[in-house]
Every structure is written in structure tokens, then in C-alpha cells.
Amino acid sequence: MNVQLKADHVWFHYTDEEGNRTSDDVLKDVSLEIEKGSFTAVLGHNGSGKSTLARLMNGILVPGSGTVLVEGMDTRDEDLLYDIRRHVGMVFQNPDNQIVATIVEEDVAFGPENLGIDPAEIRRRVDDALRAVDMYDYRLHAPSQLSGGQKQRVAIAGIIAMRPDCIILDEPTAMLDPRGRREVMKTIRMLNREFGITVVLITHYMDEAVQADRVVVMDDGKIILDNVPQAVFTKPELLQAVGLDVPQAAELLQSLGEAGLPITVSAIDEASCVDAIMNLFA
Ligand SMILES: Nc1ncnc2c1ncn2[C@@H]1O[C@H](COP(=O)(O)OP(=O)(O)O)[C@@H](O)[C@H]1O
Ligand SMILES: [Mg+2]
């Protein structure tokens, strides 16, 4: 496996400027390897440590103990931080906090400008990035005129214009309406499938997590499940125990099983749910 991000026995608590502890242990012995080109969803209820893990993965925070490696680079080494940030882009929940310019294309150019890339190359990257997120026609608009989903796609364009190998998105759809969520999810899938960018998507939406290759479930600072979506979402009791929803198909099969039918929770989508029920009559 070609590992891009690696957390190895990471413990973390927050501290103030004097180094005094301001939180309990927020991550407790977390180990995780993210493969190059993969699409991983991270699920977990509020306070389970998802955002903290994301901030550790691009060197915004460093572990209390244990190590975080980005393409083999230790995030504790301050000389490597510039390189690490170039490899791993972050997209946050609120697009308004990420947009800095008053014209869409200037906003997208901001990241590559900071990397010191030459102007002709910036022009090319900005156009490519705006086309990739389907916002090219809006390149001269003011971000304030855009919908939430459009703003978030501009924020994503700003990251991909820096040509990262990996993007970590921390609940990027949490503030969007259903249409905005669909647009942003389509963009995220495209980045992964067509551009081969490694994606780590933090979300609390099941329907988003099922689109990933792998689902990591966090609870109370620990990773409690790590498997393909089909395996994670067919364990309704475990998900419910940590306060997460279950896909409707899995929930229906669970109820039928509890009502006495000889059925196991084997499906996370409607079509396979229908198959599972029809098999009872076969
Ligand atoms: N800056 C901070 N200072 C102190 N505690 C924090 C800070 N940020 C987060 N926490 C605490 O760390 C825990 C994990 O938070 P977070 O990583 O944001 O979880 P999630 O993203 O899963 O909601 C929570 O208990 C939260 O209160
Ligand atoms: Mg969070």
C-alpha cells in the first residue's frame, strides 16, 4: 500500500499558550493509514475528535505523543510544514470563512500566488480549477452573489489550484441545502476518480459516507470501526450505540429481523434491500 497520511499511536489534548492542558485527551492512541488515491469517510458524533484528527493530518496541530507522517514527512518538523501544506489541502465547513477575495477568480488564485507560482501558470491553474468544479462561468462574479454550494465549490477550486495530492474536507456540506450538498459531493467524487486526489471526507451524513471506499467511525477519541461501507453500515447496533444514524435500508432489515423474520442486515441501498426481502420467498 502506498501510504499518504499516517497517524501512529497518536494521543492529543489541547493546551493554552503557556502549555497548560485545556481539554481531556481528545485523541486516544489513534492509528490510521490513508492510502494514496483512496476516498475515506470519517464519521462520528460531535466531539468525537474528527476535526482534531483533520488538523493533525496537515500539521495545523501536532500530536502530544505518537507521530503523524504526510508522505513520510513528520508534522513535528517545522521546516517541512510548507511542503506538508502543499501536499494536503483543507476545506472547512463554512465557505464564507475561506473566501478572501471579492472576485471568484482572484480568490482561486490566492493559494497558488502564495506558493510563488508564476503568473501564466496561475492563470492556467485557476481556469482549470474553476472548470473542474463547474464554476468557470462565474469567474468574474463576486463570491457574495453565490449560493452556499457554489461558494464551497469555489473554496475547493482554490485548494485544487494548489495541486495537492490529498484533500481533507471537514463537514463541507454541513451548511448547505440539499442541492448544494449534491453539487459539492459530485465535485468531491470527481476529484477522487478523475484527478486521483486522495480524499478524506469528514461528515455526519450517511448518504455521503456510503460513497467512499472506506468508512472510519470515531467515538470518544478512538477509531471504533474501519471498513468498507457495506461492512460498516450493516452493523446498525454499533452505529446506534455511538449516536449515528443507519441507512434506511439497513434499518428496515434490522426491524424485520427483530420482528422474527429470518433475515440478516445485509443491505445499505434500496435495490439490495429488496433482494434480501425477496429471498425470504424464494
Ligand atoms: N481549541 C480547543 N480547546 C479545547 N478543547 C477543544 C478545542 N477544540 C476542540 N476541543 C474539544 O476536543 C473534543 C473533540 O473536538 P473535535 O475534534 O472538534 O470533534 P468533532 O470534530 O468530532 O466534533 C471535544 O470535546 C471538544 O470540546
Ligand atoms: Mg468537527
Q: What is the pLDDT of residue 247?
A: 83
- DSSP annotation of 25 reads -
Residue 9, pLDDT score: 98
Predicted confidence at residue 102, as pLDDT, reads: 95
| Spacing, Cα 172 to ligand 1 middle (Å) | 17
Looking up cell 510544514, which residue turns up? Answer: 81
Each residue's pLDDT tens digit, 48-105 = 999 999 999 999 999 999 999 999 999 999 999 999 998 999 999 998 999 999 999 9
| pLDDT for residue 250 is more than 80 | yes
What is the pLDDT at residue 151? 96
Q: How far does residue 13's CA lie from ligand 1's centre (Å)?
A: 9
- Average pLDDT for the chain: 93
pLDDT higher than threshold 80 for residue 110: yes
Whether residue 258 contacts residue 235, with contact meaning beta carbons closer than 8 Å, is answered with no
Q: Summarize the confidence of residues 189-195 as an average pLDDT.
A: 94
Q: What is the pLDDT of residue 104?
A: 98
pLDDT at residue 1 greater than cutoff 80: no
Grid coordinates representing 130 are 474553476
Report the predicted TM-score, pTM, of the whole model to 2 decimal places. 0.92
Q: Identify the nearest ligand to the CA of 26 by its number.
A: 1
Q: State residue 33's pLDDT score.
A: 98
Q: What does DSSP assign to residue 211?
A: T
**Where does the pLDDT of residue 145 fall: very low under 50, low under 70, confident under 90, or very high at 90 and above?**
very high
How much distance in Å is there from the Cα of 117 to the middle of ligand 1?
35
CA angle, corner 202, sides to 201 and 203, nearest 5? 110
Q: Which amino acid is at 186?
A: K
Q: Which of 10, 16, 23, 53 to mutate to test the pocket of ligand 1 (most atoms within 8 A of CB)?
A: 23
Provide the b/e sequence for 229-245 (b: ≥16 CB within 10 Å): beebbbbbeebeebebb
Asked if 41 and 189 count as a contact pair (C-beta separation under 8 A), the reply is no
pLDDT tens figures, 113-137: 998 999 999 999 999 999 999 999 9
**Are 132 and 160 in contact, with CB atoms under 8 Å apart?**
yes
Q: List Cβ neighbours of 66 (8 Å cut-off, separation of 6 or more).
A: 7, 8, 9, 10, 11, 29, 30, 31
What's residue 246's pLDDT?
85
Residue 150 has pLDDT above 80, yes or no: yes
Ligand 1, residues 52, 93, 219: which to mutate, most atoms within 8 A of Cβ? 52
Go through the domains of the chain in sequence order and give each one's CATH number. 3-246 (3.40.50.300)
Quote the ligand 2 centre to 51 CA distance (angstroms).
Answer: 4
* Residue 227 pLDDT exceeds 90: yes
The pLDDT value given to residue 271? 87
Convert the pLDDT of each residue in 10-41 to its tens digit: 999 999 999 999 999 999 999 999 999 999 99
The preferred substitution site among 26, 204, 217, 244 for testing ligand 1, maximizing ligand atoms within 8 Å of CB, is 26
Q: Which ligand is nearest to the CA of 53?
A: 1
Give residue 269's pLDDT.
81
Average pLDDT of the residues in 161-178? 93
Distance of alpha carbon 232 from its chain centroid, rounded? 17
Q: Which percentage of the chain shows pLDDT scores above 70?
A: 100
Specify the pLDDT at position 267.
79
Residues 6+ apart with CB under 8 A from 231: none
Ligand 1 site residues (CB inside 6 A) read 14, 22-23, 26, 44, 46-52
